[in-house]
Copies of this chain bind each other. A is one copy, B any other.
């Protein structure tokens, strides 16, 4: 896993991904007491950065392997990214999802052309189902974050941040990344190391699901003490990845955790001040930029990693505007 893989992914993704800008609002700067720049990956195809990694992984396969199709376990943004990328190549995508996944996510993934295979979480083994499908049809499994070409794809987001920060004359800043398994965070960290060494990546997680923060503090992969599900569903992972963690242990600053209330307020402020739709997990980095006492930099760059949120959750966030 290295910067050359990210540069190669950027070349393959050119003309396919949306080149997202850095946005800002004087009102957000006032709230934060610092300069806040926002990288709106909610505007990426399929509504999250996951399309970058998915397209990067598919484009890295040799054509014969790709033609047999790909497999993913996901009920969320990774599924949509894989489904769209596979559709663009005209190759099969099989997405294995729990039977109790939200209807909208199942329908959206099917609408993108993927085959959705449902399983019973209580009685069936997801890995066994996937392995049997992969063997039978010759599908290639694309993991959501612990996969070098996926990390390379997410890293293209970091190349863009480095380029835009340079154009703005920003030499030092903290770059806040919404963090689940660490694919986006580790990709951005590698890109910044090479292209903008004055910019430091910091991971942001929900308070009860701070496995990356704990792991970074302890210097080894460890889990969180949170429950099974939560508001920020897109970024709830049991522990950091085997590939992503060593990268972040070497390059990232201390991890940050934010409350669900702050995530909801950040969603409301993104609505009011940036006219963007952020999902809860996609708003934690902006929440840290606005409300965390752990940030000292005069300039922060916060990813909004996704915007796939149901209307009722968004309405709940808007209620925090009072």
* Residues of chain A having any CB pair with chain B under 8 Å: 18, 21, 23, 26-27, 30, 40, 42-43, 47, 111-112, 268, 271-272, 274-278, 307, 311, 314-315, 318-319, 321
Contacts and interface: CB of A to CB of B under 8 A. Distances in A.
A155 B23 CA distance: 22
A86 to B, nearest CB: 14
A311 B269 CA distance: 11
A307 B275 contact: yes
Nearest to A307: B275
A252 B307 CA distance: 36
Given A43-B274, A43-B276, A271-B314, 17 more contacts: A18-B21, A23-B43, A26-B111, A26-B112, A40-B275, A42-B275, A43-B275, A268-B311, A271-B277, A271-B311, A275-B276, A275-B277, A276-B276, A276-B277, A277-B277, A311-B319, A311-B321
Contacts of A275: 40, 42-43, 47, 276-278, 307
A314 B315 CA distance: 9
Contacts of A276: 43, 275-277
A111 B273 CA distance: 13
**Most interface-central of A26, A30, A112, A319 (chain B CB within 10 A):** A26
Contacts of A21: 18
A231 B21 CA distance: 31
A105 to B, nearest CB: 13
A40 B42 CA distance: 14
Nearest to A113: B26
Contacts of A314: 271, 318
